[in-house]
Chain A
Amino acid sequence: MRVDDPKLKKIEPPTMSLGDRFYLPQVAAGLLVTAKHIFGVAFQDKAITVQYPEQQHVPSPVYRGVHRLNKDEEGRPKCVACMLCATACPAHCIDIVGATAPPSWPDREKYPESFVIDELRCIYCGMCEEACPVEAIELTGLYDLTGLSREEMIFDKAKLLSVFDVTRDAEPMKFTTPPPAGRPTPTQALDSPVS
């Protein structure tokens, strides 16, 4: 673009009035603004923060928190050990050992013998969720993820399945069950301009 391009829009900084240039009236105006906030919080309970352990924050439906491994109707992990999630993971934090499925599971060839996610390395990008062909791995809305050691934060299959048990009722599987009435699907939540 050239300097004299007619499409170029020149923005001039607003000229300062005498009061602006003296600073002090503007300083007083600013003090008034903060005074209102201080007064509001101190006497009218207008703080906008969540008092965490007592009040729980409710994240948006598209929030990506701790992983879970979904179970099918018979209570088996849905995962078929295809390794697509591990391949897609940019942080290389998924470690799967696949094994041939027992003969009693005729619908699949393999199942994960071990399924480990290092929650400390994970960047919660959701790529694994996107990559999974059978919707076996999902990110839940659980956000208060803490541990006292690094080892505690490495989630194995049992733990990932237990996350599913905990969150099953609150968060139905995103792609298999219709959302409960009144609750927008992730896509709807994204489409609506202000929620």
Chain B
Amino acid sequence: MTIWVLIGILIKMLVVVGVTQGAVAYLILVERKIAAYAQDRIGPNRCGREIGVPFALIQPLADGAKMLLKEDVVPKYVTKPLYILAPWIAIATAMIGFAVVPFGPVGPNQIIDFQIAPNVDIGILYVLAVGSLAVYGVILAGWASNNKYAFIGGLRSSAQLISYEIPLGLSILGMVLIAGSLDMNRIMAWQSRHVWGILVQPLGFILFFTSAFAETNRLPFDLPESEQELVGGFHTEYSAMKFGMFFLGEYLHVITVSFITVILFFGGWDVPFVTSPDQSGLLWAIVKVGVITSKVGLVILFIMWVRWTLPRFRYDQLMDLAWKSMIPLALINLVMTAGIVQLVRTYWV
């Protein structure tokens, strides 16, 4: 590895971290707007009006300032090191997933690889693995808070996160079998040559997307939070920026999950009949980055739209759905896909 490659990776890391943090800030604004619209309100529209900024576009700055300037309460009874560590874990696990997410075309014929760590053969596996580390943040926060509500909230949330890991992993495997690789770039290239994943794996897509909602603690599965009926779950004792970090981690998670949804099921940078994996050059690179980010944007908008539509599940319903419906369905999907892929490979290829 030459020094230039290293510098390139560092620059990419900085860009990715900067862009995603900025994106989170503005996504929160977008979400507040969508929430308002769904409820026949107008939502934030005043911040910055005095200085001529339209649409409350500096609201994220105000939100950020508020997070930073609020009193940061650390209760006396908490286990301090773990209490402070927990939000960092939440953010870190959400951030490191981005290492293998391709933001655009990657490959030997490209000028830049739009991926921090290109050519990781087990990309999907890595994302799943670090994604499941998030449960440590949750359970540590609940435990270190030294408060029975937070603790029970933490246990409840970790049970949920772990349960939904299973259908999440199983539903991805179908696509992996069909494309024959765990590398996200190859999966995208396969879709570009054949069809989008959602057409060959419709059930897999539904299962994946549903478990993704649960994994990112979004409604209708936001029981870790459920602020209306259960104080606040595992982050009851957290305030100011520490709470903000959990929030940020969750939002970063939403972005990662949307990327994976697009990459696995909506062809990534692919637009049928326009793009192909063999195109190289800066122009195509920009087009493909644009395509994949706008698809991701649409998925995120959809996730927000669902949030303001569906009511929250009850905890037993949540567990029923995972263990009695989604895991069996995911298994059936996997076995059938494996059988069909085997048949196709034997007789047609």
CA distance A172 to B321 in the complex (A): 62
Determine if B38 is an interface residue (Cβ-Cβ < 8 Å).
yes
Instruction: Pick the residue among A24, A37, A48, A51 that contacts B38 (CB under 8 A).
Output: A37
Determine if A92 is an interface residue (Cβ-Cβ < 8 Å).
no
Q: Which residues of A contact B310 (CB under 8 A)?
A: 27, 30
Contacting chain A: which of B5-13, B39-47, B133-141, B263-271?
B39-47
Instruction: Pick the residue among A30, A31, A41 that contacts B41 (CB under 8 A).
Output: A41
Determine if A18 is an interface residue (Cβ-Cβ < 8 Å).
no
CA distance A40 to B41 in the complex (A): 10
Given A31-B309, A33-B309, answer yes or no on A38-B41 (Cβ-Cβ < 8 Å): no
A34 touches B42 (CB 8 A): no
A49 touches B41 (CB 8 A): yes
Determine if A47 is an interface residue (Cβ-Cβ < 8 Å).
yes
Instruction: Pick the residue among A30, A31, A38, A51 that contacts B42 (CB under 8 A).
Output: A51
A46 touches B309 (CB 8 A): no
Tally of chain B residues near chain A (CB < 8 A):
14
A42 touches B37 (CB 8 A): yes
Q: Which residues of A contact B41 (CB under 8 A)?
A: 41, 47-49
A41 touches B309 (CB 8 A): no
Which residue of A has the minimal Cβ distance to B325?
A: A23
Given A31-B309, A38-B34, A38-B305, answer yes or no on A24-B206 (Cβ-Cβ < 8 Å): yes
Which residue of A has the minimal Cβ distance to B321?
A: A23
Please encode chain B, from 23 to 44, with 1 for each CB lying within 8 Å of some chain A CB and 0 for all others: 0000000000010111111100
Please encode chain A, from 16 to 42, with 1 for each CB lying within 8 Å of some chain B CB and 0 for all others: 000000001001001101110110111
Please report which residues of chain B, range 38-85, place their CB below 8 angstroms from some CB of chain A when the two chains form the complex: 38-42
Q: Which residues of B contact A27 (CB under 8 A)?
A: 306, 309-310
Q: Which residues of A contact B308 (CB under 8 A)?
A: 34
Q: How far is the CB of B109 from chain A (nearest CB, A)?
A: 41
CA distance A41 to B40 in the complex (A): 6
A contact residues vs B (CB 8 Å cutoff): 24, 27, 30-31, 33-35, 37-38, 40-42, 46-49, 51
With contacts A49-B41, A51-B42 known, what are 13 further pairs, Cβ within 8 A?
A24-B206, A30-B309, A31-B305, A34-B305, A34-B308, A37-B39, A38-B34, A38-B38, A41-B36, A41-B40, A41-B41, A41-B42, A49-B40
Q: List 18 A-B contacts (CB under 8 A).
A: A27-B310, A30-B310, A31-B305, A31-B309, A33-B309, A37-B38, A37-B39, A38-B34, A38-B38, A38-B305, A40-B40, A41-B36, A41-B37, A42-B37, A46-B40, A47-B41, A47-B42, A48-B40
In the A-B complex, the 7 residue pairs with the smallest Cβ-Cβ separation, listed nearest first, are: A41-B37, A38-B37, A34-B309, A48-B40, A30-B309, A34-B38, A47-B42
